[in-house]
Amino acid sequence: MTEAGLEVRDITKRFGGVTAISSASLTVPMGRVHGLIGPNGAGKSTMIGVISGFIKGFSGAIHFGGRDLSTADPATIARLGISRTFQQATPIAGLTVLENVMVGMHVHHRANLASVLLRTPFMRREAREMRSAAERVLNDFGLAGDAEADATGLPFGKLRFLELARAAVMRPRMLLLDEPAAGLNQVETERLAAIIRSLVREGIGLLLVDHDVPFVFGLSDQVTVMNFGSVIASGAPDAVYRDAAVREAYLGAQEMEPA
């Protein structure tokens, strides 16, 4: 693993005649939070889609742990240790909360089809280990009491935490969080911040995209600001906050006020 962790260099992505990202770069070290902010349409979610392999047809380079991921598919990227959440927290219908989290562990599933069909001791042991790991994550994320509940019946706030739990149970080395605090109340936002800090203390690198600017600035070691697809500022939170171009991009926006 290189010290840099995730390195994104000169990414450009166009959708038809629209440039969603223009020569954007950022670096996310391991064990650090890198905030990515910007007004609507700045290219933040597109950047997460590109890094995680869900969006193709871009120019530039993406490296993680010294490995080039520019042409890798989402499954390969997940197996290499990069996990992401989505803006829309959508559980898998028909599964319990616990089962939804266990689905996120498929990248580490070692039992082959024959082991599953024959229910070998190895397969049964692995299933117990997966269930135990999923239960621990649910407990850490405040969802233990909902383990056997239908996931689609969870209130919005808990769906957000379920989305994060599914990503965290994959034992990622790098987490990409796309608007994790959207729609959360103050208590839920504080719980989310505590979870993020605990994950980072374990050495995970984290790219945090959110419209709640005080939330991002309060958690981030570095902040990158995008506007109309381009990076307009990047650096320590205090310096970025004072940057004239950043304040102009957010001119009149309540979210640029101090927390």
Same domain for 10 and 109: no
Query: What is the per-residue pLDDT across 122-173, written as a single tens digit (0 to 9) for each?
Result: 566 767 777 888 898 999 899 999 999 999 999 999 999 999 998 888 889 9
Sheet strand arrangement including 205-209: 82-84, 174-178, 205-209, 33-37, 222-227, 230-235
Mean pLDDT, range 90-96, rounded to an integer: 89
- Give the pair of three-digit tokens for residue 236: 């320590």
Q: What is the count of structural domains for the chain?
A: 2
Same domain for 172 and 129: no
Domain range for 249: 6-91+157-256
Distance (Å, whole) CA 18 – CA 198: 39
Among 153, 174, 197, identify where a domain stops.
Answer: 153
**8 A C-beta contact, residue 138 and residue 97:** yes
- Give the pair of three-digit tokens for residue 164: 């994060």
Same domain for 76 and 194: yes
Distance (Å, whole) CA 114 – CA 60: 42
Of 4, 65, 79, 30, give the one whose Cα is nearest residue 200: 30
Does 41 score more than 60 pLDDT?
A: yes
pTM: 0.85
What letter would DSSP give residue 104? T
Distance (Å, whole) CA 40 – CA 19: 14
Distance (Å, whole) CA 137 – CA 86: 18
Same domain for 165 and 53: yes
Same domain for 98 and 25: no
What letter would DSSP give residue 211? S
Does 107 score more than 50 pLDDT?
A: yes
Among 137, 153, 169, identify where a domain stops.
Answer: 153
Same domain for 43 and 16: yes
Residue 16 lies in a domain: yes
Same domain for 10 and 76: yes
CATH code for the domain in which residue 84 is found: 3.40.50.300
- Give the pair of three-digit tokens for residue 31: 């064990």
Same domain for 72 and 108: no
Same domain for 84 and 168: yes
Residue 17 lies in a domain: yes
pLDDT of residue 76: 92
Same domain for 137 and 210: no
Rounded to 10 deg, the angle between the 121-140 and 156-168 helix axes is 130
pLDDT of residue 102: 86
Residue 71 lies in a domain: yes
Phi first, then psi: what are they for 30, rounded to 5°?
-70, 145
Q: How far is CA 154 from CA 87, 147, 170, 237, in A?
A: 16, 11, 22, 35
**8 A C-beta contact, residue 38 and residue 210:** no
Same domain for 65 and 122: no
